[in-house]
Structure formats: C-alpha cells, structure tokens
Amino acid sequence: MFDREMFLLRAQLSAQDFDLFVEAGWIAVREGGGEFSDADLGRVRLIRSLRDECGVNDEGVDVALRLLDQLHGARAALAQVAAVIRGLPEPMRREVARALRDLPGEQAGGAP
C-alpha cells in the first residue's frame, strides 16, 4: 500500500490529474483517503495508456473502465460459484457438469 504522495510518484501522475481521475470516478479513494494499492497503480497506468498512447477520449476511458470492472466482478462471481461446486459431493458435481455441458448456446472456449 502507498500513501498519496508515494502513489503519485510511482504512477508518475500529477496531483491535478489525480484529482481529475478521482472526480471522474476512475480511481476510488478509500475512507481516510490515504492508501492506494498496486491495483490502483495498474489502473492509473491503464488510464494513461488509453489516453496518451491510444488516443482514447475521457468518455471512452470511462466506458473501458466500467467494462473492465464488470469483467472483474464476473470473474469474482464465477470463482465463488466454482468454490461452491467444489464443495459439493461428487455425484452432485457430476450432475452440475452434465447440466453445464447441456446448456444451449455458447460452448466453453468457443464461439456460439
């Protein structure tokens, strides 16, 4: 975890850009406002890359970050489902696997 000053230094981010990113909702300031993680640092680097290297405008950055957040949320939910399935007795796990294979539409790892 980093304090704000160290975070700005490591992210090579100005205080003005930091405030803009916070106001846009791209960076969450935790209660107490003082600590930032490696994930926050990666998020800033992604934002800067989208804006500076790819020429994405602020609206596009907002859309990209919301989609990324949704993807992370879906991955977390799937991890929880997998943990629950792993905790089931073997006969129930086989039944779940069979039901998943029989789902219509997209097959695992392939196109519809």
Q: Which domains does the chain have, with CATH numbers?
A: 4-101 (1.10.1660)
pLDDT at position 10 over 90: yes
Instruction: Kindly tell me if the per-residue pLDDT of 108 is higher than 60.
Output: no
Split at pLDDT 50, 70, 90, the class of 112 is very low
Residues 33, 17: Cα–Cα separation, whole Å: 16
Is pTM beyond 0.75? Reply is no
pLDDT higher than threshold 90 for residue 111? no
Q: What is the pLDDT of residues 60-89, one digit of tens each?
A: 999 999 999 999 999 999 999 999 999 999
Averaged confidence pLDDT in the chain: 90
